[in-house]
Amino acid sequence: MSTSIEQRVGAYIEKQGSLDLLRFITCGSVDDGKSTLIGRLLYEARLVFDDQIASLRNDSKKQGVQGSGIDFALLVDGLIAEREQGITIDVAYRFFNTDRRKFIVADTPGHEQYTRNMVTGASTADVAVILIDATQGVLVQTQRHSFITSLLGIKHVVLAINKMDLVDYSQAVFESIVDVYSEYSRHLEFESIMPIPLSATEGDNVIARSSNTTWYSGPTLLEYLETVEVGKSQLQHSFRFPVQWVNRPNADFRGYSGTVVAGVIETGQQIRVLPSGETAKVEEIILSKNSLDKAIVDQAVTITLDTNIDVSRGDVLVLADTPCEVSDQFEASLVWMNQEPGFIGRSYWLLIGTTRVNASITGIKHKVDINSFEKLSADSMQLNDLGEVTLSLDKAVPFEAYKSCKAMGAFVLIDRYSYATVGAGMIKFALRRAENIHRQALLVDRKARENLNGHGGKILWFTGLSGAGKSTVANALEQALHSRGMRTYILDGDNVRHGLNKDLGFTDADRVENIRRISEVAKLMLDAGLVVITSFISPFRSERDMARALFEAGEFLEIYVNIPLAVAEQRDPKGLYKKARRGELPNFTGIDSGYEAPEAPELELATAELSVDDCVAQILKII
Amino acid sequence: MKSIKQLSHLDSLEADSIHIMREVMAHAENPVMLYSIGKDSAVMLHLAQKAFYPSPPPFPLLHVDTRWKFQAMYKFRDEIAKSLGMDLIVHINPEGIANNINPFDHGSSQHTDVMKTQGLKQALDKYGFDAAFGGARRDEEKSRAKERVFSFRSKAHHWDPKNQRPELWSLYNGYKASGDSIRVFPLSNWTELDIWEYIYREQIPIVPLYFATERPVVERDGLLILVDDDRLQLQKGEKVEIRKVRFRTLGCYPLTGAVESDADDLASIILELLQSRSSERQGRAIDSDSSGSMEKKKQEGYF
């Protein structure tokens, strides 16, 4: 190769290396032409290869909805189901570059049922291109997408008013849509809104300026995307570094690997480890074999410290004099992403930065009706719900408001059994309650009460279908214990549902709350030194585990009163199964509501085969 | 502070990939890196060394071999593994050997299924790997564009594209039921051009087949096939020609077409790519079997 080519290529690659990256999403209603617009952008930027065009022409003939022309949407809709249905289901990422910038486009689905996928695409985007069909104007969907865009912290929005060819490129139509949108978006938190008239199918104002819209003097879509200024703020933010991995190849080296999520760190600076608060000096910043003077936001490095302090995965390194808050109680925005609803009181894993803690929703302040923006009260989060919630964590974590630092305020909730990502949240602020409620120290404690009783407290947690014999066995057991001089109490449906829990019904959300309250009451009784027998169906594994988590090992004994459904239904001591079968008792466990059998109970009683006395004898053996 | 520039595109891609690799270490008990000897594998391996330095990458390399790779690839593979001092596991599907599965007699579809898809599943099961790094990129193919970075597989290695976990911010939920496994794609957001620019910048060694030189080829079904060993039987009317060719992508030699080219160094490859009018997977026989063929293969366990 000649030197001149080498120089040209060298210069080009150097220039490419200095380009920055813009991530944007496209969103809009079902037929607004999002995929078509991206296809057009790639096609006109000459980023679609000849063989892809050949296969596209083929596919357009078979599946396209554009008549005899090329259906650009087929370039982007990659899943078989999407191509067959002509819709976008999942986020698709596309890549292109010009001489001025590199781009990653997330094409997100328009259907309401795929809101979670739109949230996924929006979580990493700097700019949102919101499509509006000029013949339709601002729709409910447009508002919904704008709301989510704003919620996820995207500051710059393109209002791409598409299908201008179908309204004769009318300036009046364009301006009236812009007016409606401006009015609507006043309460959203965008820094800039850029309306552009275009036609994705005809190519007007996508890349080249259109002669059909001489009244429009603003940039074309590509010009805008190439020049919009975004996201310099995290560079000026205080240094934040969640530790990902402790790098310890041998006894002589101990480094902390992670990605700088905000700010800059230099060697010699004093850092603080959160939540512990210990401080040390940065000795070295390593990126592979290079030693750096400083690391900036987004850089993945390994940091060594001048003293040996305790640092592990999940800790956050900050500058010693500009730390962030640490808390275990939050108010946050939450998007629910799973078919299985989210309940107040149920325990989830919460992933924030590189740390994982147990967390539960302590309250749902309101849900937002995604179409009217009305605030609705709710006792559970359903798929695609957006709401404001309060959360309680079992361990304090370093954090910041999502608005000021995305990486320090974003979290996901994970189901502890299916491991599914069920929720995505954005911290608003910490609740101070944790610091203000001080537990009253009592002079007479549990130990003292147990000494007086002459025996320790215990929780005997019965679980099983209605009619399995829980109450019968519980009563016989209490009699046996009582006769031995032990202090006991039975918590069961009758004494709890008629008083403490009379406000609760039998929906899944109410069942979760029912068990939560019973667990807490049982805990108080244990503290009083009693042997507590609880006798509830308690159908969900996660609530039984939540109850178990309140107690020390050995205090909580789960007793599975196991009976085949057919036998319970045949016995039907209270006539409840018959009622349920007639449809008079909705949400009845075993009929139209599930029962999750314990995986490892301390004791299993097959009450179809055992006598009541046998059952009691077995329980006495394990106490 | 104002004078500090944001990270460049290549640096931020590099950082993202390193972040992903380190996250896997927090979730996987027994990870492995799929090493296919190509340019993407070369970049992935280079990133792994950067991610964990000064520790060596805390996982072995796995090459699922078909016995039909280019000779130059085998040579390169063994040299790299030796020079890095990493463990290299080579697995060949024993049933494929017993039945002498090959692309000539069994066609690309069956050859790929038995030697690659089934071979990969066997190897993952045999060693109990619960996370496997792969070098796939979203710009390669439409179904890959929709795949998550952390992509879950059932015990039977099935992929369910309609039921993928939402993947937000840089928060990767890598928790899985026992028996399930994850395929992790740290290069998801890289393009072919990014790969070459990075190889150029970091001077990463790659198989010489990527560079143009005069090689013996035959034209078959529209592809230029390299005469790599004597297992290639000439069909009627075919003749071996010496042409100046290179490969944009590497696979099994009878299934991988060469392109005529003068690009004999990294700079001219990048230049050629910028002027190119066809995508790199054009030279792959397996993708064009049918529309949606990659998605179907992936559902069955193909990487």
Are residues A330 and A314 both part of a single domain? no
Q: Please give the domain boundaries of chain B with CATH numbers for all domains.
A: 9-193 (3.40.50.620), 207-288 (no CATH)
pLDDT, tens digit (0-9, with 9 covering 90-100), for B60-108: 999 999 999 999 999 999 999 899 888 999 999 999 889 888 888 888 8
Q: Chain A contacts of B141, Cβ < 8 Å?
A: 78
Q: Using the predicted structure, report yes or no on whether residue A504 has a pLDDT greater than 60.
A: yes
Predicted confidence (pLDDT) at residue A379 exceeds the cutoff of 60: yes
Query: Is A92's CB within 8 Å of B9's CB?
Result: no
Per-residue pLDDT reduced to its tens digit, A170-192: 999 999 999 999 988 888 889 99
Nearest Cα to A83, choosing from A105, A67, A60?
A: A60
Asked if residue A32 is part of any domain, the answer here is yes
Q: How far apart (Å, rounded) are the C-alpha atoms in residues A212 and A164?
A: 9
In a mutational test of the A interface, the residue from B52, B160, B169, B211 whose CB has the highest number of chain A CBs within 10 Å is B169
Put simply, the answer to whether A120 touches B291 (Cβ < 8 Å) is: no
User: pLDDT exceeding 70 applies to what percent of chain A?
Assistant: 88
Q: In terms of domains, do A537 and A617 share one? A: yes
Structure-block tokens of residue B33: 């890196």
Residue A99 has what pLDDT?
A: 77
Task: Among A433, A468, A492, identify where a domain stops.
Answer: A433
pLDDT score recorded for residue A68: 43
Domain at A576, CATH number: 3.40.50.300
Distance CA A357, CA A392 (A): 10
For chain B, report the end-to-end CA distance as a whole number of angstroms. Answer: 44
In a domain, A523, yes or no: yes
CA distance B62 to chain A (A): 23
Put simply, the answer to whether B9 touches A20 (Cβ < 8 Å) is yes
Q: Is the pLDDT of residue A211 over 50?
A: yes
Asked whether the beta carbons of residue B6 and residue A296 sit closer than 8 angstroms, the reply is yes
For residue A247, the domain's CATH number is 2.40.30.10
* Same domain assignment for residues A374 and A504: no
Q: In sequence order, which residues have a C-beta less than 8 Å from that of residue A136 and are 6 or more positions away? A: A29, A32
Nearest to B278 among A50, A62, A286 (CB): A50
Contacts of B244 in chain A (CB under 8 A): none
Tell me how far CA of residue B133 lies from CA of B23, B138, B204, in angstroms: 12, 15, 19
A587 touches chain B (CB under 8 A): no
pLDDT band at A484 (very low <50, low <70, confident <90, very high): confident
Distance in angstroms (rounded) separating the CA atoms of residues B167 and B96 = 37
Interface contact flag, A79 B8, Cβ < 8 Å = no
The answer to whether residue A281 is domain-embedded is: yes
Residues A146 and A56 in one domain: yes
pLDDT band at B280 (very low <50, low <70, confident <90, very high): low
pLDDT digits (tens, 9 = 90+) for A4-44: 666 766 777 777 767 888 999 988 876 667 778 888 887 76
Q: Which is more confident, A65 or B132?
A: B132
Q: Is B98 exposed, middle or buried (0-12, 13-18, 19+ CB in 10 A)?
A: exposed
ipTM: 0.88
Output DSSP code: residue A124.
T
Mean pLDDT, residues B117-135 taken together? 93
Are the Cβ atoms of B15 and A258 closer than 8 angstroms? no
Q: Which of residues 327-366 of A touch B (CB under 8 A)?
A: 337, 349, 351-352, 354
What's the burial of B76, exposed, middle or buried (CB within 10 Å: 0-12/13-18/19+)?
buried
User: Which of B153, B173, B269 should be substituted to probe chain A, the one whose Cβ sees the most A Cβ atoms within 10 Å?
Assistant: B173
Active-site entry in A29, A392, A538, A593:
A538
| A188 and A302 share one domain | no
Which chain A residues contact residue B246 at CB under 8 A?
none
pLDDT of residue B282: 55
A98 reaches B (C-beta below 8 A):
no
Shared domain check, A615 and A512: yes
B172, B171, B1: which is closest to A234 by C-alpha?
B1
Cβ of residue A233 closer than 8 Å to a chain B Cβ: no
* Number of domains, chain A: 4
Show the beta-strand stretches assigned E in A149-227.
Answer: 156-162, 192-197
At A11 the pLDDT is 76
Mean pLDDT of A58-77: 56
Report residue A437's pLDDT band, with 50, 70 and 90 as the boundaries: very low
Which of A389, A288, A561 has the alpha carbon at shortest distance from B48?
A: A288
- State the pLDDT at residue B279: 56
**Pairing mode, strands B88-92 and B61-65:** parallel
* Domain contains A292: yes
Q: Which residue has the higher pLDDT, A54 or A267?
A: A267
Instruction: Report yes or no: A34 and A27 within 8 Å, Cβ to Cβ.
Output: yes
The pLDDT value recorded for residue B286 is 47
- For residue B53, the chain A residues in CB contact (below 8 A) are 286, 288-289, 302
- The pLDDT of residue A67 is above 60: no
Q: How far is Cα B216 from Cα B227, in angstroms, rounded to an integer?
A: 6
What is the Cα A298 distance to its own chain's centre?
22
Residues A598 and A541: beta-carbon distance below 8 Å: yes
Whether pLDDT at A426 is above 70 = yes
Q: Which residue has the tokens 């820094």?
A: A191
A203 falls within a domain: yes
Which contacts (CB < 8 Å, 24+ apart) does range B223-232 have? B223/B256, B223/B257, B223/B258, B223/B283, B223/B285, B224/B257, B224/B258, B224/B259, B224/B260, B225/B253, B225/B254, B225/B256, B225/B257, B225/B258, B226/B70, B226/B253, B226/B256, B226/B258, B228/B70, B228/B71, B228/B253, B229/B71, B231/B102, B231/B104
The boundaries of the domain holding residue A420 are 326-433
Sequence-distant (≥ 6) Cβ neighbours of residue A237 within 8 angstroms = A262, A263, A297, A404, A405
Q: Is the pLDDT of residue A266 over 70?
A: yes
Question: Residue A314 gets which letter from DSSP?
Answer: T
Inform me whether the C-beta atom of residue A600 falls under 8 Å from chain B C-beta atoms: no
Would you say residue A299 has pLDDT above 90?
yes
pLDDT above 70 (res A330)? yes
From A383, A409, A433, the end of a domain falls on: A433
Are the beta carbons of A16 and B197 separated by less than 8 Å? yes
- Coil, helix or strand at residue B260: strand
Q: Distance (Å, rounded) from C-alpha A145 to C-alpha A106?
A: 14
A6 touches chain B (CB under 8 A): yes
Write down the pLDDT at residue A235. 84
> Which site among A259, A304, A413 would you substitute to test the B interface, given the most B Cβ atoms closer than 10 Å to its Cβ?
A259
Chain A residue with the nearest C-alpha to that of B173: A421
- Is the Cβ of A51 closer than 8 Å to some Cβ of chain B? yes
Instruction: Say if A441 falls within a structural domain.
Output: no
Residue B55 is nearest to which of A249, A258, A351, comparing CB atoms? A249
pLDDT (average), residues A298-305: 96
Domain co-membership, A452 together with A529: yes
* One domain, residues A270 and A313: yes
Q: Which of A21, A90, A296 sits opposite B146 (nearest CB)?
A: A90
Partner-chain contact B270 A9, CB within 8 Å = yes
Residues A78, B141: C-beta atoms closer than 8 Å? yes
Contact call for B268 and A302, based on CB within 8 A: no
How far is the first Cα of chain A from the last one, in angstroms, to the nearest whole number? 85
The pLDDT of residue B291 is 45
Q: Please list the helix, strand and coil fractions of chain A in percent, rounded to the nearest 5, in that order.
A: 30, 30, 40
Domain-embedded: residue A439: no
pLDDT bucket at B193, cuts 50 / 70 / 90: confident
- The per-residue pLDDT for range A354-365, each reduced to its tens digit, is 999 999 999 999
Model confidence at A48: pLDDT above 80? no
| Residue A352 to residue A426: CA distance in whole angstroms | 10
Choose among B300, B39, B12, B286: nearest CA to B141: B286
- Is residue B188 scored above 60 in pLDDT? yes
**What is the 3 state secondary structure string of A7-23?**
HHHHHHHHHHHHCCEEE
Please indicate, yes or no, whether residues A178 and A295 belong to a single structural domain of this protein: no
- Is the CB of A78 less than 8 angstroms away from the CB of B145? yes
Q: In A, residues 62-91, which contact B (CB 8 Å cutoff)?
A: 62, 75-81, 83, 89-91
Q: Which residue, of A196, A227, A258, is where some domain finishes?
A: A227
Contact B4 A296 (CB under 8 A): yes
Q: Is A104 in contact with B270 (Cβ distance < 8 A)?
A: no
Residues of A in contact with B291 (CB under 8 A): 55, 58-59, 62, 83
A-chain CB neighbours of B287 within 8 Å are none
Active site residue A538: yes
What average pLDDT score do residues A558-579 get? 89
Q: Are residues A116 and A206 in the same domain?
A: yes
Look at residue A586 and give its three-state secondary structure: coil
**Shared domain check, A468 and A341:** no
**Contact pairs from chain A to chain B, CB under 8 Å:** 209
B181 versus B156: the higher-pLDDT residue is B181
Most confident of A108-112, A389-393, B7-11: A389-393
- The reply to whether A440 falls in a domain is no
A261 and A369 belong to one structural domain: no
Per-residue pLDDT tens digits for B152-171: 888 888 888 777 888 999 99
